[in-house]
Amino acid sequence: MSTTVLETQTALDQALQASTAPRHKSSVEVTDYNNRQTVGKITVDNPKMVCRDVDVFYGAKQAIKKVGLDIGANEVIAFIGPSGCGKSTFLRCLNRMNDTIASCRVTGQIMLDNEDIYAKEIDVVQLRARVGMVFQKPNPFPKSIYENIAYGPRIHGMVNTKAELDELVHDSLERAGLIKEVEKRMQEPGTSLSGGQQQRLCIARAIAVNPEVILMDEPCSALDPIATAKIEELIDELRENYTIVIVTHSMQQAARVSQRTAYFHLGDLIEIGDTDQIFTNPRHKLTEDYITGRFG
């Protein structure tokens, strides 16, 4: 990918132009957007979040083009695609983290439990308490492990007593599978942990405020395979209680942890469907090229 970016890009453009129609047209649901289509069924039966016609602009540059998809309750949905395809940008729309970028403009509709999260009466503070986020690089606060977990519940006023807070911290660390490793060192700085432990600390921090949806932006890209395996295991366990959206560069990871997968390409949502189907039987040429490793 590194040496032939330009060639790949040209090839991609050609492929995009050539593939005006999906290959299995008759049996597949297709959503038409002007010249471009999303292959696969974008809706689910019990959606947690519903996104329709989402456009994102950075200044004049359009980063996301008319993307629509549903995120089902208690499912893990993976966003895959080559670098710069807009999957992280789209993820950050889901809890309005893009608000912090002055030049960023989001249009379209993103609903959480039938509430438009971009509506005027929605407070981002409340939204982010419901839609938590785990970032690419582990970013614990430079405070103690205890304080890292206690911060969210404290600012949202979710606990009244010290005992309640202690229990919540313990519980969150337990659910993140970190309790055994940190039980004896709650007052040590969070930054003293290893990379994988830091990332699990960040997940514990996110679930401490009991969100409904957890967004994960390439949570394992800075971790070694063992730490990655632990996080993936954790994601699988968390699915029982939370809806998880994960952006990943590793197709194996997407295949391992997710039930549905969405493939993004240059700001377009190209294909969406059950993970098994996407990886065994991609219906769009671009998806196939990507997952068979022809580029990316």
Q: How far is CA 287 from CA 39, 82, 254, in A?
A: 10, 10, 14
Task: Fill in the amino acid letter for 174.
Answer: E
From 129, 98, 100, 99, select the one nearest 112 (Cα to Cα): 129
Q: Does 267 interact with other proteins (rule: CB under 8 A)?
A: no
Q: Toward other proteins, which CB reaches closer, 40 or 140? A: 140
Lay out the site mask for other proteins across 44-83 (x = CB under 8 A, - = otherwise).
----------------------------------------
Q: Does 219 interact with other proteins (rule: CB under 8 A)?
A: no
Q: How far is the CB of 160 from other proteins (least distance, A)?
A: 18
Q: How far is the CB of 125 from other proteins (least distance, A)?
A: 5
Contact criterion met (CB below 8 Å) for 214 and 112: no
Q: Token pair for residue 85?
A: 């395809």
Q: How far is the CB of 92 from other proteins (least distance, A)?
A: 9
Q: Does 155 interact with other proteins (rule: CB under 8 A)?
A: yes
112: CB partners within 8 A, 6+ apart: 48, 49, 127, 130, 131, 212, 213
Q: How far is the CB of 149 from other proteins (least distance, A)?
A: 10
Q: How far is CA 283 from CA 12, 13, 31, 40, 217, in A?
A: 16, 18, 14, 8, 26
Q: Toward other proteins, which CB reaches closer, 23 or 137? A: 137
From 180, 172, 176, select the one nearest 146 (Cα to Cα): 172
Q: Toward other proteins, which CB reaches closer, 56 or 133? A: 133
User: Quick one: which of 49, 77, 97, 238 contacts other proteins (CB under 8 A)?
Assistant: 97
Q: How far is the CB of 221 from other proteins (least distance, A)?
A: 14
Q: Token pair for residue 202?
A: 């960040």
Q: Toward other proteins, which CB reaches closer, 112 or 209? A: 209
Q: Does 251 interact with other proteins (rule: CB under 8 A)?
A: no
Restricting to residues 116-135, name those near other proteins by CB under 8 A. Answer: 125-129, 132-133, 135
Question: Within 10 A of 249 (CB to CB), how many other CB atoms are there?
Answer: 16
Restricting to residues 179-218, name those near other proteins by CB under 8 A. Answer: 189, 191, 202, 205-206, 209
Q: Is 6 helix (H, G, I), strand (E, B) or coil?
A: helix
Q: What angle do helix axes 195-208 and 145-155 make, rounded to 10 degrees?
A: 20
Q: Toward other proteins, which CB reaches closer, 133 or 255? A: 133
**Where does this chain bind other proteins (CB under 8 A)?**
95, 97, 100, 102, 125-129, 132-133, 135, 137, 139-143, 151-152, 155-156, 189, 191, 202, 205-206, 209
